[in-house]
A and B are shown apart, each in its own frame.
Chain A
Amino acid sequence: MRKVRNRALSVIAIALVCAALTGFFLFRYFTQGDKWAGSVYNSDAYAGGRLRAGTVTDREGEVLYKAQDGEVRYAADELTRRALLHVIGDRAGNIGAGAVLRFASQISGYDPINGLWTPGGEGGTLALSVDAGASRAALSAMGNRNGAVVVINYVTGELICAVSAPGFDPENPPERPEDASGVYLNRGISATYTPGSVFKLVTLTAAIETLPDLFDRDFHCDGALYVGGGSVTCPDAHGDMKIEDAMALSCNCVFGDLALELGGETIRQYAERLGLTDSVELDGILSAQGSFEIAPEGSLDLAWSGAGQYETLVCPLAMARLAAAIARGGTAPELTELKTGRESPGTRILPEETAERLSCVMDYCTAKTYGDQNFPGLDIRAKSGTAEVGDSQPHAWFVGFNADPAAPYAFAVILENSGSGAAEAGPVANAVLQELVGGG
C-alpha cells in the first residue's frame, strides 16, 4: 500500500495545477479586471450600448453626463453639451475617444474589491480634467468655424479644454451617420493639419541649436527668395532684421533660407524630437500622428518646408504639448484627461537654454506683432500661423502659453479656412484664457 500511496501523489500534481491556474487568474483579475468590467461586452456595465450608472463631471464638479438605470442625461444647456461632446462621447458610441467609452469602469464605479457594486447602484463619479466654462468659451469664440481648441495645464499635464467643431448636440444626434462626416472626430486630438508658420518654432529650434551665431546674424528680406526656378514669398519686403524680428514678422524668406542651410534631415530630426511626427499618448489612446517629408537638398520645397508648408502635417495636441514644454523650460508634461492636480515630472525634449530662448522670442512676437493689449492680464508668448491649403482660405493657427505660474496654460488653436492666425485664432485663445483666469 505504501507504493500505491506514493503514486497517489500524482493527484496532488493536478491539485497544484488547479491552484496555480487559480493564482494566475487572480493575478489577471487584479491587473485587468477594470478593462473587463468596463468592456462594452459587460451587460452589468452597459445596457443597449449605454452605461447603466455613473456620473462624469468637469474639474469643478459640474455634471456633464449622468447615467442612471440605463438612462443617460447630458448637461442641461446645449452649449455645454456641444462644447464637451467629443470629450464625453455620444450615446451611440460613435465617438471612440470619448471618456464614456474609455473610462467606463471608473464611471461605473469599478474597484477590484467591490467590482461594479456601488451603494444604491449609483455608479461612480469620474472627474475629468477639462473645464466646462473654458470649453463653452472656446466653442462660443469659434463661432461657426470648424477646427479645434486645445488647452493644457503645463504644470500638471491635465487637458483643460479640447473643443472640436463641427459637432452636434448629443441630445439630438444626427439621424443618419453617413450625413455626419467628420462630426465624430475630435480634431484637436485625432486630426492633423498643415502647420504653416507655427512650424517656424521647429525651424527656429533647429537653428538655435545648430547655428551658434544665429542671434548675431543680420537677415534681409526682399519679399521673395528665389530657389530652383521658383520662389518663397512674403506678403511684404521685410528689409533688414534680426532673427527675433524674422519670427515676429513670420518672414518666409528668412526661414526658407534657414531651411536650405540646415537641410531637410536636420529639420526632420527636430520635428521628431519635439514630438510632432509621433503620436502623443493621452491616457492610453494615441493622438493622430504628424509627418514631415524631407524635400530634396536645395529645392524650393525644402525652403517652403522650413516655413511649415510643403507636405508637413501636425496634430493640434502635439503643438500644445510643444508649447507646454517651452513654457516649462524644455520638459513635456505627461498628458491626461483625468483630474489629478499633481505636477507632472515630464520628459525633456529641449535643453533648458533653448526653451528659454524660444520663450523670449515668442514673448517678443506677442509684444511686437500680436499686441499685449489684446491679452489683458495675461503674459502670452505665442506664434501664429496662416497655413496655405490649396485654393481655399488658409487655416488660422495660434500656439503658445501664458507665462504665469498662477495660470499655467499652454494652448493650440486651429480654425479651418479662416484666414489670418493672429487675427482670427488669437482672439479665441484669449477668450478661453480670460475665462480660465477669471474663473479662478
Chain B
Amino acid sequence: MSASTAQTSTIATGFADPVIAAQANFHAAMTALSRPGTVTTLSAGLIAPEPLTAELAAVALTLADHETTLWLDPALAASAEVVAYLRFHTGVRIVAKPRDAAFALVVDLAGMPALSAFAQGTDEYPDRSTTIIAAVQSLDAGRHLELAGPGIAERASLSLDPWPSNLTAELAANRAQFPRGIDLVFVSAGRVAALPRTTSVSEG
C-alpha cells in the first residue's frame, strides 16, 4: 500500500488515450508549424510534475521516444520528478549539451541559451537540428511580432509574453543561415503556435 502510494507520487500519469491524444497534439503542432502565426488548441490531457507544464509534457510525449535526444533547461533538469516523468513515459535520452539535442524543453525563455548553442543541422542534412519547445505566459499579449514567409498568405502576426530582447535578432541570424536552423514551438495554457526557421520575424 505504502509502496504504491510512493509510486504514484513520483510519476504522474501520461495520456489517458495515447493514440488519440498523440494524433490530436501532433495535428496541432503540424498546423502551427505549417501556418506560422496561427494559434491552435492544444488539449494537453495529462498532469505533469512542476515546473513542467502540461502542454510541454504533451508535446514531448507526442514526439519524443528512445530514438530522440532531449535537452532540458536548468529549471527542468533540476527537478528529479520531471526527469523521471519524461524518462518513464517516453524513454527519451536526456543530454547535457543543447548541441546534442533533437528537442529542447524550455520553461524559462529569458534564461534560454543563444539559438546558436543548439544543433543547427548541416548543409547536407539541415533536418538534424534542434526543435525548441518553449512554454510562455501568453500567445496573444506581450511583444507583437510581424511574420512573413512560407505558410503565410500575406502577413501574419503573433504576440508573445515573455519575449527576450535579443531573440528577434537571433531569429534573423537563424533565418539567414537557411536551410540550417532552429524551429521554435511555443505553448501556453491549452494553446500552441510556432516559428519555423523559414519565418522572418520583425518587431511591429
The answer to whether A and B come from one shared complex is no
> What is the interface of chain B, defined by CB distance below 8 A to chain A?
none
